[in-house]
Amino acid sequence: MVKEEEGIIIEISQNNIAKVKVGRHNECKNCGACPGDSSVVIEAKNLLGAKIGQRIAFQIKETNMLMAAFVVYIAPLIVVAFGVYVGQVIAKKFGFSVKGFQIAGGILTFILSIINIKLFDKFAHNNDKMQPVITQILS
C-alpha cells in the first residue's frame, strides 16, 4: 500500500533530491519521535523537476514505514530481552552473579541494536525503493 502526503519544497540538492517540509498529521503527533511541533522535513526523489517553494504531493510505501518502525521501536526491545536472557543463562552456567550478567547482556545487545538502527538508516537512505517519490506538482 502507498501513502500519499503533501508538502512544500524547501531545498533541492545536486542529485535531484528535494527536501520537503511536511505538515504533521495525527499519527506523527501521537508518536513524537521527530523534533518540531507542526512539521517535519523529509527527502524525496524529485523526478518531476519541481522547484523550491512549490507545493507537491509525494508517495511513501507503507511497508517501508512499518519496517522502519519495527527496526527502531520493536527490534531493540526484543534484542535487549534476548540479551538479558542470554546473560542469565551464561551466569548460571558458570556460577556468576545473575543480575550482573543480565545487565551486561542487556547493555551489550542494546548497543548492538543502536548499531543496527544506524546501518538500517544508511541502507534506507541509499535504497531508491525506500525513498519517497514526488508524484505531482500541486502549485
The set of cell numbers assigned to 92 is 548460571
pLDDT of residue 98: 95
Q: CA–CA separation, 77 vs 62, rounded Å?
A: 22
pTM recorded for the entire structure: 0.69
Confirm if 135 and 58 have CB atoms less than 8 A apart.
Answer: yes
pLDDT at 41: 87
A 10 A CB-CB count for 16 gives 13
DSSP 129: G
Quick one: DSSP state of residue 131? Answer: S
Q: Say what the pLDDT of residue 39 is.
A: 76
Query: What are the 10-residue block averages of pLDDT along the chain, 139 residues in total?
Result: 85 89 67 63 89 92 84 96 97 94 97 96 84 89
